[in-house]
Structure 1
Amino acid sequence: MTQRTITHDVVMGLTYYSPYVSGLTEAARLVAEGLAARGKRVLVVATRHEAHLPAHEVLNGVEVRRTPVVARLGKGVISPTFPAVVARAARRSRVLNLHMPLLEAGAVALLSGSTPTVLTYQCDVSMQGTRLDRVQQRVMDLSSAAAMRRSDVVVPSSDDYAVHSRLRPAMEGRTRAIAPPCVDRRGGAPAFRDGAGPHVGFVGRIVEEKGLEFLVEGFRRLEDPTARLLIAGDHARVAGGSVVERVRAAVGADPRIRLLGFLPDDRLADLYASLDVFALPSVNSFEAFGIVQVEAMLAGVPSLASDIPGVRIPVQRTGFGVVVAPRDPDAVHRGLRDLTLDLSDRVDGARRTAELYGLERTLDEYDAVFESVARPGGR
């Protein structure tokens, strides 16, 4: 392949892309836009998960192509043309970057031929409900493992998550841990504060793996009538369905707890500025890091994180917060009590977090990994 046939520096493939919001899609978007701002030619191929979205557009310097969706299956969608479109673009790219879990990963890796491949492995799929769910999980694992064995580098969010992954054997010897990109959202106004009491916050999709009912139950055991719990996140447009009714049932009539709904990016700085503690009470391996907890920590807010692989790492590495047992309202209660009583060292905690998890550091590491395997190719 000659240099003249190379059309992109990086082709990214993933199921959902902006305007869909999740930790996986936001990580991909920030890397794509960050590299595009550095002069890289970046193409994202995703599914057209909403019919009104254009099949082709440019978003913040990133070329985006979307393939038609013919059906939905659990949290995923079926787009028959997706693997071929990604692979065709990959063969004209210096490097392919797949963001996983991705049902079609194995097929894309095979169809992409000799294109150098970097897999961003966000998390294991956790589908333990019906028999069909278990079959889907098995198929996803087989596809992911096949892609890993054909890849040049597998990028987990942390070594801790990689060694606890079900797919550790397939990725072993290929891993290069890089933290997901996290935005520094300091400087907001405390617009969400309601009184002088301690404010606890959560940001994320209102889905089962977030463990929100355990956060609500733990918070409600705080006796302080001035304490507040602010839960921000989408529950109307969530792949696989929301558990908002379960969360509302846990809230009951407690007037100290507010469900804020989806917050756009330009309101997150104000939310973080309103908080004394951030909580990430995740309950399973579908959560592997928690970008939002690090963004809160960057803004000077300590985190209460579940003791599960990957999620616990930012708090453990920085010492800025507490790690508690998952699915344990008593542990959540004790952690919140301790953190709301000790609000010292916020500036130093934010500094330590920035040293380890700044956005530019993540972009530098991705740029270096891509260049280490990419084939030559100019404009």
Structure 2
Amino acid sequence: MLDYYAPYVSGLTEAARMTAEGLAARGWKVAVACAQHDPALPRHEVINGVHVFRAPVLTRISRGFVAPALPLLVRRLAARSDILHMHLPNPEAAFVAALKGSARLVVTYHIDVFLPDSPVNRFGMRAVDQVCKSAVRKADLVITNSEDQARGSRIWPTIRSRTLAPIPSPCVDRSGGAPRLRDGDGLHIGFMGRIAVDKGIEYLIRAFRSLDDPRARLLIAGDYTTVAGGSNIAQLRQEAGDDPRIRFTGLLRGEAVRDFYASIDVFALPSVSESFGIVQVEAMMAGVPPVSTNLSGSRYPVEATGFGRLVPPRDPAALREAVLELAELPAEDREAGREAATKLFGGEAFLDAHEEAFRKLLPGVRS
């Protein structure tokens, strides 16, 4: 259960989709209950072996929905299920947890909700925190991307009272692309992700524009047309000004993602709110060193592999220096980093971990 599901793209939805489809491919019977975020989407369809049920949306509030049928939909599906797996943060979480019936409850807590600072948004964040805590208290198991993420969460005092299983988000090996987005032989820096305020992209643009090299390029890839809560693309275009070295590519899919990583020398993830950063790990597995902000959770891949650099959030000067340092990283260090990241985060280890955790909750049930 979650609000947004495929074809919407975010780190949370991709983690849920890959887990659901991976388990279905291994023989588990999996249904997804979500909101019908696009009215053109069918209320029910089967995607790669996963039954997807969508509840209609009455209205939208910031990044969330008013979808009163969603908890009832989940209750109906949970009554036929052994496990209810909720992905949080989610404003309906407390209601759904109360309606779970006899199903064992697993909560994957992806990240503390983040909204731009304002009195209304501060109230909203506190409200969602309380809802999430209520669901976590009822959970038989809590999954986070890392223990570092869990301990840094605003709701850690609640999480630590439950059984915790740190399982990193699924990451795809994006190596083997062609440098089709490359423009010349200068330093190419890349960002990929939702074009939204929590990604801190303006600090990356400021860091890049402080570089005098006319051959340097900044590739900013990601969706800015259907972002939940809205995109800050207008602000970012203003930050970029008339600098011809900066390119917004839009959302990339399929082979274009491999080509993106093959086209850059350094990956930058300048987020002001992040809990893991699938894209930085995919860059690592393609041999591209990342610069990431030193936040709970998002620093874990860099610390675990020793590949990349960490900088304070909202610090263009530190970001610039780290990018220039990593640009000089020798090929053998890039290869060592690629191997370390692939060993830790590649393959289907995340599916193995989910299966192991689920089977412990269901003695005697194989799949």
Do the structures match in fold with TM over 0.5? yes
Q: How does 1:126-205 map to 2 (within 5 A)?
A: 126-127=114-115, 129-173=117-161, 174-205=163-194
Choose between structure 1 and 2 for higher RCO, CA contacts under 8 A separated by at least 6 residues: 1
Note the C-alpha offset of 1:114.
2.8
The amino acid that maps onto 1:231 is I
Say which SS state the counterpart of residue 164 (structure 2) adopts: coil
In structure 2, the CA distance between the partners of 1:16 and 1:274, relative to structure 1 (3 Å rule), is same
Q: How does 1:294-333 map to 2 (within 5 A)?
A: 294-333=281-320
User: What per-residue deviation string (whole Å, max 9, x for no partner) do you get for residues 301-341 of structure 1?
Assistant: 11000011111111111111110111001001101110112
Note the C-alpha offset of 1:374.
2.8
Q: How does 1:23-38 map to 2 (within 5 A)?
A: 23-38=11-26
Aligned mate of 1:69, from 48, 57, 64: 57
2:221 paired with 1:237: no
Q: Aligned partners of 1:78, 1:131: CA distance in 2, in Å?
A: 21
Q: Aligned partners of 1:357, 1:228: CA distance in 2, in Å?
A: 29
Between Structure 1 and Structure 2, how many residues are aligned? 365
In the superposition, the TM-score normalised over structure 2's length comes to: 0.97
The amino acid that maps onto 1:291 is I
Q: Aligned partners of 1:351, 1:50: CA distance in 2, in Å?
A: 39
Hey, what does 1:10 align to over in structure 2? none
Q: Aligned partners of 1:30, 1:330: CA distance in 2, in Å?
A: 36
Q: Aligned partners of 1:63, 1:17: CA distance in 2, in Å?
A: 12
Q: Aligned partners of 2:126, 2:79: CA distance in 1, in Å?
A: 28
Q: How does 1:53-68 map to 2 (within 5 A)?
A: 53-68=41-56
Hey, what does 2:96 align to over in structure 1? 108
Hey, what does 2:238 align to over in structure 1? 249
Q: Aligned partners of 2:157, 2:205: CA distance in 1, in Å?
A: 37
Q: Aligned partners of 2:139, 2:105: CA distance in 1, in Å?
A: 5
Note the C-alpha offset of 1:358.
1.2
The amino acid that maps onto 1:14 is L
User: What per-residue deviation string (whole Å, max 9, x for no partner) do you get for residues 61-100 of structure 1?
Assistant: 1110000100000001110010111122112111111011
- Is the CA contact 2:359–2:366 (under 8 Å) kept in the aligned structure 1? no
- Is the CA contact 1:87–1:109 (under 8 Å) kept in the aligned structure 2? no
Q: Aligned partners of 1:136, 1:166: CA distance in 2, in Å?
A: 14
Gaps of at least 5 residues in structure 1 are: 1-12
The amino acid that maps onto 1:331 is A
Q: Aligned partners of 1:256, 1:26: CA distance in 2, in Å?
A: 30
The amino acid that maps onto 2:107 is L
Q: How does 1:290-369 map to 2 (within 5 A)?
A: 290-344=277-331, 345-369=333-357
Percent of paired sites with the same residue:
48
- Structure 1: which 4+ aligned runs deviate by more than 6 Å? none
Q: Aligned partners of 1:110, 1:374: CA distance in 2, in Å?
A: 20
